Every structure is written in C-alpha cells, then in structure tokens.
Structure 1
Amino acid sequence: MRRRSAIKLILAVAAAAGLAAAGYAASRPLAEESKAQYLSSYTWTLKKPWFGGFSALKITDGGSAMVVLSDRSTLVTARIARRQGRISGITAASAHRLRASTGKTLRGFAGDSEGLAIAPDGSRYISFEGAARVARYRRPEAPAEVLPRPKAFRKLPPNKSLETLAIDSRGRLYTLPERAFDKNGRIPVWRWNGRRWSRPFSLPPRGGFLPVDADFGPDGRFYLLERDLTLLGFRSRLRRWDITAAGPVNETTLLLTGPGTHDNLEGLSVWLDGTGRMRATMVSDDNFLPVQRTELVEYALPR
C-alpha cells in the first residue's frame, strides 16, 4: 500500500498502535463470521535498509522457510524457527533487489511490487501495481521477463491495480486489482494460461474491504485476503471459493477481524503443516512507518 492519503493513514496506524499498546488488540480476532482458529502472532524486526513494506509471502519447507516480497522490489528468503508449531524466530538468508527487463534495478513507480507466486520450477512471478504488469524471474537476481500486457491492464488506476497474484495446480496465474471494479461493480479476475490473458470470472465485493493478496490452498480452493482501513485501525477478512468451470462457487468467510486486532495484513500463504492441518500465514506491510510493525499472523483453517 503506497502513496495513500498521508493524513488518513497516519491517524489510522497511530490509533491502531495506541489500541495495541493499551491491550485492546485481542489475541483472537473480533470476528463476526470467523471460522478460522487463531494460532499465533510474531513481530519480526531487523535493522536493514530494505526491511519493511512486505506485501506478499509464500511459506515453504513445511513452515520452516519463506519467500517474502516488499513493495520496494526486494525479494527476501528467510528461515523460520518454531516452538510447538508457533513462530519463535526468523533469520533472513538472502535479499535481492528486483531488476527490469533491461537489467537495471527497479525503483520508484516502476518498482511497486505487490503480488508473488512461485511456479513448480522455482520461477518467481511478481505483479506490479504502479505500471500494471506481471513479470517472471527465473532467478531472484535475473532480469525480468515481462508477460504481455493486455489493454485492460493499461487502463487500471496506477495505485489501485495488480495487488494480488496466485498460481493454481495447473500452473495458471490469477491476478486482480485492489480497487478497479468492472461495469457490473464486481472485482475482475484475469488468468494467464502460459500464452494469453483471459477474464474467466469476477468476484463480489462486500462492504468496505479491498483485495490485497490471494492464494490457492493445498485443497485447490481460492483464498482472498482483504483489508479495510478505518480510523480505529486495520480490519482483515479472508474469503474462500471453489473454482469450477462455471466460475467461483461456495463463497465462505473464514475470518473477519475488528479494528486493531492485527496490523496492516497484506500477504497471504495457505499451506499444510506437519500434522496435516491447513494454515493461513499472513504478513503485514508496515509502510516503513515507526508506528507500525512487521507482523506474521497464523490461523488454522477448516477443511
């Protein structure tokens, strides 16, 4: 989330920080329709110039490692230590600044990286919100291979565009904008099949929540993380669908938190732990502000 209204953002995060300091932020979300079970939260701190602004992550190696992406074009790999299943420590292993197709380091508007998907061959696919596009990185240090940009991408608002990226079991990519509804007031979803983009379906917006990340779980379902910014802090919501040939069905709200329960959750990874339990791990974007924090939050998900 970048270049927002400074006044609204600062007021909201200051209020959220005050609520957390006062003990208002509950260990469990203030949920109206919650079906997910809260497991734990971990605040990650690191004194590195690139640290912060994380907008996407993928948990790997059964929960002992992760790839995390900042919105300033830094791709980080890290090891995760756990105690009784809960995150007890994180150690950064590598950090790479992403490059353009020309080989130059991405910066500013062109480097607003938001979504991350990892293909079976290890390629990283990344969506960008400034100049709306999706790029493939065969290696973190390699130049970008930019996928074709359909006309629809070029018409998206510059700071409300391709916020999410997910990959299904067939290797197809899915992306959707943060705030760019179609003519029917729905959230458009685009799919890349390796040759071209199509728009197979759309999703219904509900309330003031906006999409910030998505993932396909081990169960093959589509999970969407959404955020709402209020003057009392951030709210988060997690919805799920079965994706069929006819489109998305069986919409379920798994998580709905109250203001200040968590920080600005923007990244989502759905995975199986060693016991076979499905988890959602989410990471917050601290906007490089001292009143926010980089928080990793985990929930157990129902089947």
Structure 2
Amino acid sequence: MRLRSVLATLTAGLTAATCLTAAGPAAAGAPAAAAATAAGTPPRNACSPSVSIDGFSDVLDKTTYEGTYVGNFSALAVDRNGKLAALSDRSSLFTLDPKTFQPRSVVALADENKAALDSEGLVVERDGTRLVSSEGEPTVRRYGRDGAILTRLPVPEYLRVAPAGRAAANQTFEALTLFPGGHTLLAGMEGSLSGDTPGIVRFQTWHRHGSKDFRLAAQYGYRTDTGLGVVETAATPDGRLLVLERGFTPGVGNTVRLYAADLRRAMDTSGVENLTGQNEVRLVRKTLLADLVNCPTLGATAKQPQPNPLLDNIEAMTVTGHRHGRLKVLLASDDNQNAVQTTRFYFLRVRL
C-alpha cells in the first residue's frame, strides 16, 4: 500500500480510537482547530501556538495479550498495511488495530544469541522489514515480520557502552527514524558520551546502498535541555525532525518537550573526539514546539505526582498523517510495568 494511503487509513482509525477511548472531554474538532490556527489564535485544546492535543487513551493500561504484558512502549511506527506497530522495551513487537488499539499479534525479538533486547527504536520499511535499535550495546538490526534477524548495521566503537566505548549504560540508541525517501536512517543517543559536554548528544546516520545495505554516514551534535534526554525522533515530510526530550524528577514528575530540529546546517561530528561546546562545531538547530506540561489536562488522572496529570513517562512517537504543514502525531508512554505509571496514548496536532 502506498504511504499516503497507509497514513490515511491509520489517521481515520486513530480518530475513531480517540472518540471511543479518550478519558474526559478529550476530542477537539479538527475544523475548529484549523480555523483557529489560520486566524492566528491558539487552537482549541492548545499546548502552545504550534501544538494542540485532540485526546488521549488509557485503553491498554495494565492489559495482557496471549500471555504477554502489553506496555513498556518505547517506539511506534505506521505499518505498511495501515496498522500500528508498537515496540516494547522488553523485546516484544505488537501489531495494534488502528481503530481500537487492541493487539492483533505479537512477535518476540532477540539478538543473535537468542537473548532479550533493550529494544527502544523502531522503523517499519515499505517492504515490511523492521529496523530495531537496542540500547544495551547499542545495535540496530533488521528483522523480518516473523522476528528473524536479517542483518546488523555497523556502529562506531566509541558509541558503545563503556568499557567497550564511551557511552553510559541505558543512554544510547533510544531514538530511531527513517527520512523521507528511505535513504537515510538516524539513531539518537539519549545521553552524552564520556568526554562530551553533558547535554550534548550525538545523532548517528546511515545511508542506504542498494535495497538492504546501510553504511555509516554523517553524525551530528544536538544539545538537550538541562536534565532532559532524547527519547524519540520522527522525520517530517520536509526533511526536518521532531525531537522528544524527557526527564523525571522524583516527587515532581515528568518533563516532556517537543522540538523541531533541522540538520541541514549542522556539522558532521563523526571526526570530532570531544564535543565540548567550546570547539567550533555547529550543532543541530532546534525550535521549541511545546512543553507538554502546558497542555490541557482533558480530565486525565495520574497515579503519582505530576506537574500535569496528563503527563507520564512518554517516549514513543510517530507521525500518522500530514497536510499543508500540519502533522498528526501519536505519542505513547512507557509504564515500566509499574503500578504507579500508565500506558497512555496521546493524539497531537503539530504545525511546523
């Protein structure tokens, strides 16, 4: 199915899911939001002048499917058949119905030694191949729809977890996205390398050669907000990035911010040993789209302290539709299989 048709199918399904499962007054009419934006005033249910929220859904919170816990979501992607692929960081890859979010299948993923992954990033290619990043090593592997490993992409040694490299544990390939055209893949490090200034993280890219071979390409530096890490990226139709930054403060809750980022004038940092912020390196430019603490609560409740009860441990994101510079974006939270956290989906409209 063509990408436009897939997005149209999924968008229609997600709209239905919002109406069926959102808690409280969660749905904002698209025509009203578009008219408000065109008039130069914040759209209904605005989080900022650029972002509004149409609703949320907790329908999958603390559920199981065929004996597998449904949750721990770290990544989302639009599948070629219009369904939603949802990746758990416990090595499970779900197919979800776009209308109800109910699981339709689950595949167990593993490494070459049949060991579980810390699976964090997901891309579904046009032929159905799954690209999955694991932050334990880190790695990026290509899987078939049945979960069989096809190939493994090369990774620079210094991006590996210490002592093999300079990365900290659980701070590597948290984000994964494929740019329009399918030729450039990007993985985002969640945290900084040893020797780099804290808060400056690296985005590694690969270029496709032929239909299956990805080779290492340029690398870029990106500065996060203080105390936050990069948990997801999503390429936009115009070649920019949406970047999701997230942090957690005990007793306070989560901070989640959405940025637009532009790599076009950033410098290739693959040959720069230490990104100190003082060397003459042009980092990726970013523009704040919304701090999600400013979204309306929509009647949401939280099981632990949050600055906005709508917030949770959000770390999955995918673009489900676009028209005239306006994107439909779906987010999901990772509940860590924790009683005081929630598996929650968020329906955003983003204007670039």
CA deviation map 1:154-175 (0-9, x unaligned): 2122211111111112421111
Q: Is the 8 A contact 1:119 1:171 kept in 2?
A: no
CA deviation map 1:112-131 (0-9, x unaligned): 00011122322111111112
Question: d(CA) in 1 for partners of 2:75 and 2:284?
Answer: 25
* Residue 196 of structure 2 is aligned to residue 183 of structure 1: yes
Mapping for residues 1-303 of structure 1, pairs under 5 Å: 35-45=50-60, 46-48=63-65, 49-60=68-79, 65-81=83-99, 89-102=100-113, 104=114, 106-107=115-116, 111-154=117-160, 155=165, 156-169=167-180, 170-181=182-193, 183-185=196-198, 186-194=200-208, 195-230=214-249, 231-244=251-264, 246=266, 251-258=286-293, 259-260=307-308, 261-272=310-321, 277-303=326-352
CA deviation map 1:258-295 (0-9, x unaligned): 23331110101023168984111100000001221110
Q: Secondary structure at the match of 1:278?
A: strand
Question: d(CA) in 1 for partners of 2:88 and 2:242?
Answer: 21
Q: Is the 8 A contact 1:98 1:140 kept in 2?
A: no
When normalised by structure 2's length, the TM-score is 0.68
Q: Give unmatched runs, 5+ long, in structure 2.
A: 1-23, 29-43, 209-213, 268-282, 294-306
Question: d(CA) in 2 for partners of 1:271 and 1:163?
Answer: 20
Aligned partner letter, 1:172: T
Q: Give unmatched runs, 5+ long, in structure 1.
A: 1-22, 82-88
Give the ranges of 4+ consecutive aligned residues of structure 1 lying more than 6 Å apart after TM superposition: 27-30
Question: d(CA) in 2 for partners of 1:249 and 1:100?
Answer: 32
Aligned partner letter, 1:216: A
When normalised by structure 1's length, the TM-score is 0.78
- Structure 1 residues 75, 256: CA separation in 2 closer, same or farther (over 3 Å shift)? same
Aligned partner letter, 1:266: E
Question: d(CA) in 2 for partners of 1:274 and 1:65?
Answer: 20
Question: d(CA) in 1 for partners of 2:265 and 2:247?
Answer: 31
Q: Is the 8 A contact 2:46 2:52 kept in 1?
A: no
Kindly, what percent of the aligned residue pairs are identical?
29
RMSD: 2.7
Question: d(CA) in 1 for partners of 2:234 and 2:347?
Answer: 15
Q: Secondary structure at the match of 2:245?
A: strand
Question: d(CA) in 1 for partners of 2:80 and 2:148?
Answer: 23
1:19 corresponds in structure 2 to none
Question: d(CA) in 1 for partners of 2:133 and 2:80?
Answer: 24
Aligned length: 264
Question: d(CA) in 1 for partners of 2:189 and 2:146?
Answer: 24
Q: Is the 8 A contact 1:163 1:211 kept in 2?
A: yes
Q: Secondary structure at the match of 1:286?
A: coil
Aligned partner letter, 1:70: S
Aligned partner letter, 2:88: S
Please state how far the C-alpha of 1:145 moved relative to its aligned partner. Answer: 2.1
Q: Is the 8 A contact 2:221 2:284 kept in 1?
A: no
- Structure 1 residues 180, 250: CA separation in 2 closer, same or farther (over 3 Å shift)? closer
The structure with more radius of gyration: 2
